[in-house]
Structure 1
Amino acid sequence: MSIVLHAAPTPSAPGLLLRPWRVGDAGALLAAYQDPVLRNWTQQPVDTPSDARAFLRRSRQGWAADRRFSFAVLEPTPAGERLVAHVLLKEVTPGRPYAEVGYWTAATARGRGVAPRAVDAVSDWAFARFAAGGLARLELLHQIDNPASCRVAEKSGYVFQEVLPARPPFPRDGHRHVRHLA
């Protein structure tokens, strides 16, 4: 998979590189999931090397099926690159007018505009790639008690649409934010 996306730098943050996950990302993935805040919001924690391999395998399978696109988000460092986030485009089906975007941000990257820039880059890519197949709307869902995700949605051009009632596996009500094809 040779897809690589870029998010431009800001005055206070470097540019970002978004690409499909690689086998060599397992260690960085495990390290990111040590964060209790990330673990609080995830349904499938990555606790072991086996969990990391399963995450990476699901990522490859999603790309191969052309329905689920999982991006590692990296920023440059003097030593190379550092994992700062993950953005996922899921439920892409030909003829279906909507899909969902999800994301998480590593602890070291929070509050620096990483998530909005990465979500924006994947959203633009999704519309460019799938609009001809009918994609016209992207949804970003989060639990109501996660105000940081509301801010990310708004900064990424996703407009609050509605409150969703709690349903398994989500223990609390949620928000649906929507971004339409421009």
Structure 2
Amino acid sequence: MNAEGQESFREFVELRSRALLKTAVLLSGGDRHAAEDLLQSALVKAAGRWERIEEPEAYVRQILYRLQVGRWRLRWPRRELTVADPPERAHGDSAEAAVDLRIVMRRALARLTPRQRAVLVLRYFEDLPEADVARLLGCSIGTVRSTTHRSLVRLRTVAPELAPSVERDLRPVEVRP
């Protein structure tokens, strides 16, 4: 890679690695160390082809998804999530509720299968259409739909506190075309 390519790669990593790491954390079930390894591997693969990549972020995200699928196929044993320090307490009700929700969501996602977790991350966090999720995971659209349905049912089972309350059910909902 020439000097110009190295500089553009360095800029890309500085600008986009935080967002890519968030996706990797979700794909790895909340294991930050595994997510860092996953992102590092994806960036190494991208660096080798950097000068030929037209859409770098899409390319790196696709590598992330495919590497994670490869890890599932190896059937790695599920490891317990360990953290060095407990999360900080937030000030104010809404900030504290948001932190609690993130903790509950991370734990709930970690209890799903890797495929269920990936489908939910791609569909709802990355906001990808079903066809793109199917293409990235190498399955049919029907499989994405059924896995999404089963994943949401399982998510509500393992974390009933995520189920909408009666008050939320009665509020008007924005409908997208």
TM over 0.5: no
TM-score, structure 1 as length reference: 0.28
- Greater fraction of residues in strand: 1
TM-score, structure 2 as length reference: 0.28
- Greater fraction of residues in helix: 2
Larger Rg: 2
Greater RCO (CA < 8 Å, at least 6 residues apart): 2
